[in-house]
Amino acid sequence: MNLNIKNEKLNRWIKEVSELCQPDSIYICNGSKEEYNQMIELLIKNGGAIPLKKRPNSYLFRSDPSDVARVEDRTFISTSSKEEAGPTNNWLGPAELKKTMLGLYKGCMKGRTMYVIPFSMGPIGSPISKIGIEISDSPYVVVNMHIMTRVSSRVLELLGENGEFIPCLHSIGAPLAHGQKDAQWPCAPIDKKYISHFPEENLIWSYGSGYGGNALLGKKCLALRIASVMARREGWLAEHMLILRLTNPEGRQYHIAAAFPSACGKTNLAMMMPSIPGWKCECIGDDIAWMKIGADGRLYSINPENGFFGVAPGTSYSTNPMAMDTLKGNVIFTNCALTDDGDVWWEGMDGDEPVHAIDWKGRDWTPESVHEAAHPNARFTAPASQCPVICKDWEKPEGVPIDIIIFGGRRSEVVPLVYEAYNWDHGVFLGATAASETTAANIGAVGFLRYDPFAMKPFCGYNMGDYFQHWLDMGGKLGNKAPRIFYVNWFRKNSDGKFLWPGFSDNSRVLKWMCQRIDGKAGAQETPIGLVPDKEGIDLNGLDIPPDNMRELMMVNTDEWKAEIPNIEKHFSIFGSRLPERLKLQLKEFIRRLG
């Protein structure tokens, strides 16, 4: 089998996978526009892709109802010891897991083409980037990887004869017998789905699902779960963070990385249009940040992705106009509704509801229907380069210098609008205790408090106690060049259950205060939880907000915070002896300040 690949390790791996999975043919992807169109044609022919008349070069897919989201309980971190995976991950031993999966992989690509997808996470050739090779039997995966990563034959050239790559094996787990008609969305039953990570080998195996987070292995699997382990090993950070550039009226630039759990407005903030005159926001990334210490000792970040894989429902011109403008063409939509005039629609979109549509399951839908038209996790895959506010430096190989790191969560009470950490260790404490109230989008009781440290709970590829220690160690290396750390809560409510803060574009007012703090131009009051803006701190010009609302937004009630202590202690207790001493000290200091 001569595939014209110089890298011997890669040739051997392709041969092994081919012998195991037994595809009808092998195709090496080159990332060209012709290849993308060829895959789309194939998907239209198979009935998987529906062309959209209203949006040029855009297509709608409907997944199997059993395959609509990341499958947390079928996602495994497989390390030689369970302790290494830690209490926040599902663990199976490598020998047991590989035996099971090799049995599933045997002959799983019969009747299909095996696609070899060479991709770069981050600009090709950047010192912060990593190379992956995904093998998949899904053309849907190929077209999404084209958008979400940098698929290119240049990646193979860069690999050369002995370059390192991360092997990512994926199969939908649906072999075809000779003459058998393919399903519109082929996948395996839920109990046969496995999303497996072997961090000690930098290896990813995924089986049975065609859905993005489970099948586009460059995304959460490589860019967070495997990369977080590599980052610890190599002394950098792989984080579930947006990156934005904020420029003040004088032209001074600030770069901000922010981590929020789901349903807390990460994409909205990444593409925000500031409501304060003269300030400009540009998007560098909306989901993942890889950060390394540069030659000058500062922390530099790239967005390793090439596109946006966003949740469609709730996205509108009122919530995120820049995202809506990004979606005008060249987009893959999954599980949205199809209107009669050949466009997509979802709940929360601007304008009137359609009189009739075809829902995400292919059924007739009208406003009287009891079921939703689009699945709540319906998605768009769109090139980042199409975003009207994409930063001109978003592909800078060396990255951008991070000035500010933000953590946050959705809390209806207790937590003020914004506060600043006293120092790096205190900031790590804020990240480690980040919590959010569950919403209807989460499984479980609404309003239940869920700790999601650094918004990384589902994505950290090793023991989170060690992850906290790695953050503390990075602070030691950065010293006085470390970014300043803040915590935000856009979601505080009054006694009537109404939001106290308008959010969206007005969040720029909070970011302005952070920038002025860095420049020594804004004051703050010391409180037991951190530094809160003083009375004149937040620029409220042009904003009609009652003084009582602002007072309540900034309130730090020590009794309410004392009531949080048992929750934090319980949360920290799961890490046992792996919880860093410096975080135990931070908790003691916090309790002492509360008095």
- Across 178-203, b (16+ Cβ under 10 Å) vs e yields eeeeeeebbbbeeeebbbbbbbeebb
pLDDT at position 446? 56
pLDDT at 3 over 80: no
Is pLDDT of 405 > 50? Answer: yes
- pLDDT, mean of residues 586-590: 98
Domain interval for residue 253: 238-303+394-594
At which residue do the structure tokens 């017998």 appear?
A: 177
**pLDDT computed for residue 443 by the predictor:** 47
In sequence order, the 6+-apart residues with CB closer than 8 A to the CB of 491 are 264, 410, 411, 412, 437, 499, 501, 503
DSSP state of 353: P
Residue 356 lies in a domain: yes
pLDDT, tens digit (0-9, with 9 covering 90-100), for 300-318:
999 999 999 999 999 999 9
| pLDDT greater than 70 at residue 439 | no
Same-domain check for residues 206 and 243: no
Number of domains comprising the chain: 3
Question: In this structure, is residue 38 part of a structural domain?
Answer: no
* Residue where the block lists tokens 């509360």: 594
Domain boundary among 207, 234, 261: 234
Last residue of a domain, one of 234, 252, 279: 234
Please answer whether residues 344 and 52 qualify as being in contact, where contact means their C-beta atoms are separated by less than 8 angstroms: yes
118 domain residue, yes or no: yes
Residues 312 and 207 in one domain: no
Q: 132 and 116 in one domain?
A: yes
pLDDT at 64: 96
CA distance 374 to 520: 48
- pLDDT of residue 417 exceeding 50, the answer is yes
Taking 3-state DSSP, the helix, strand and coil percentages for the chain, each rounded to the nearest 5, stand at 30, 20, 45
Of 53, 56, 578, nearest to 339 by C-alpha is 53
Q: What is the pLDDT of residue 447?
A: 64
Binned at pLDDT 50, 70 and 90, residue 2 comes out as very low
> What CATH number has the domain bearing residue 180?
3.40.449.10
Residue 441: per-residue pLDDT: 47
> What per-residue confidence (pLDDT) applies to 442?
45
92 within some domain: yes
pLDDT > 70 in the chain, percent = 98
- Give yes or no: residues 564 and 461 share one domain: yes
Give residue for tokens 């993308």: 36
Beta bridge partners of 135: 116, 169
Q: Please tell me whether residues 402 and 382 are part of one structural domain.
A: no
Instruction: Let me know if residue 544 belongs to a domain.
Output: yes
In this prediction, residue 456 carries a pLDDT of: 98
Q: Are residues 398 and 533 in the same domain?
A: yes
In a domain, 40, yes or no: no
Residue 2 domain-assigned? no
Average pLDDT, the chain: 96
39: left (phi over 0), alpha (psi -120 to 50) or beta: alpha
**Could you count the other beta carbons within 10 Å of the beta carbon of residue 435?**
19
Respond yes or no: is residue 387 known to be catalytic.
no
Q: What percent of the chain has pLDDT over 90?
A: 96
Contacts of 116 (CB under 8 A, 6+ apart): 3, 14, 26, 27, 28, 29, 133, 134, 135
For residue 358, the domain's CATH number is 2.170.8.10
Domain co-membership, 278 together with 321: no
| 283 and 369 assigned to the same domain | no
Q: For 316-358, what is each residue's pLDDT tens digit?
A: 999 999 999 999 999 999 999 999 999 999 999 999 999 999 9
CB–CB of 132/404 below 8 Å?
Answer: no
Residue-wise pLDDT tens digits, 148-191? 999 999 999 999 999 999 999 999 999 999 999 999 999 999 99
163 and 18 within one domain = yes
pLDDT band, very low/low/confident/very high, at 4 (cuts 50, 70, 90): confident
What pLDDT was estimated at residue 485? 99
Query: Tokens standing for 385?
Result: 């380069």
Residue 532 has pLDDT above 90, yes or no: yes
Predicted local confidence at residue 192, as pLDDT: 97
Nearest to 271 by CA among 238, 306, 315: 315
* Whether residues 351 and 459 fall in one domain: no
The predicted model scores a pTM of: 0.97
CB-based contacts of 177-186 (< 8 A; 24+ apart in sequence): 177/110, 177/111, 178/111, 180/111, 182/46, 183/64, 184/46, 184/47, 184/48, 184/62, 185/48, 185/61, 185/62, 185/63, 185/64, 185/67, 185/210, 186/64, 186/138, 186/210
CA 104 – CA 206 distance, rounded (Å) = 11
CB atoms within 10 A of CB 83: 15
- In order, the DSSP letters of 231-261 are HHHHT-EEES-EEEEEE-TT--EEEEEEE--
State the pLDDT at residue 563. 96
Domain membership of residue 290 (yes or no) is yes
| 175 CB-near residues (< 8 Å, 6+ apart) | 107, 108, 109, 110, 111, 112
Q: Which of 21, 29, 108, 264 is catalytic?
A: 264
Res 518 pLDDT > 70: yes
> Distance between CA atoms of 17 and 169, rounded to whole angstroms?
8
Same domain? For 122 and 271 the reply is no
Q: For the residues 286-300, what does the mean pLDDT come to?
A: 98
Report the distance separating Cα 432 and Cα 417, nearest Å: 18
Choose the final residue of a domain: 338, 363, 386.
386
Residues 285 and 360 reside in one and the same domain: no
Instruction: Write the CATH number for 443.
Output: 3.90.228.20
